[in-house]
Chains A and B, each alone.
Chain A
């Protein structure tokens, strides 16, 4: 047997091995693809983009994978966490969005997607967070959001633009506070922030009827 023939035989063996592994892991790969897609939807949601169609398609395509009960616990937990993140940003005043929000809730109630671990970590009754603790928690949440946004090495002004879009599209007031914080930081570093201040004021006015917050 020549060297070339030996190498071709080895190539064939290795390809068959990898194809075999992929075949065994097909369901796993499909679950991975679902998680990957859901993760992209969550990112779009964070950026204030309209995700209803994507999320609806995701439920239609990957619902059976989750319903099948063949996913590993950590995969189910990952899906649950991503869905919770998405749900926190959904505007339930819109009927179509509410339908999707209810679908997430239905999955939780069925037990397919377990309730978030966060629920288990909550303090007992009577141990409600005071305002300082709430503020620290908010700063932590903002810091995590900024770290996530910063991964694409975007300029702070671009990040601010995304934050303002999120503030406009979502109920979560964190985006309003974060936008104000970033605007002030840019201002004390010599940037012109007038247009951003006007956008934030406009958003606040539309959402809460507040005229002069910043």
Chain B
């Protein structure tokens, strides 16, 4: 039988193939105990986590911009009504 860590590593690679980076990261964490010494494993795990962090930053920046636009629109509308 395969160990849980081996299964997790396999599933992480399959998730990467589907571009499901959040699931891949979770599976990498589950496999970490057994594969922490493998350079290939560490590169894939760290790259996936970095990509998720970058995506989060992009999301925050883009959402922040929408909020500012809404405030300005609201302000203009209020001024117009006056």
Contacts and interface: CB of A to CB of B under 8 A. Distances in A.
B1 A39 contact: yes
B50 A15 contact: no
A14 B25 CA distance: 14
A11 B51 contact: yes
Interface in A149-173: 151
A42 interface: yes
A29 interface: yes
B2 A15 contact: no
Interface in B24-72: 44, 47-48, 50-51, 54-55, 57-58, 61-62
B16 interface: yes
Q: Which of B10, B48, B62 has the most CB of A within 10 A?
A: B10
B5 interface: no
Nearest to B11: A36
A187 interface: no
A60 interface: no
Contacts, number: 63
A14 B58 contact: no
Contacts of A8: 58
B1 A148 contact: yes
A162 to B, nearest CB: 15
B82 interface: no
A7 B57 contact: yes
23 contacts: A11-B54, A14-B50, A15-B19, A15-B51, A18-B16, A18-B21, A18-B44, A18-B47, A22-B16, A29-B10, A29-B14, A29-B17, A32-B13, A32-B14, A35-B2, A36-B2, A36-B7, A36-B11, A39-B2, A39-B7, A42-B1, A78-B2, A151-B4
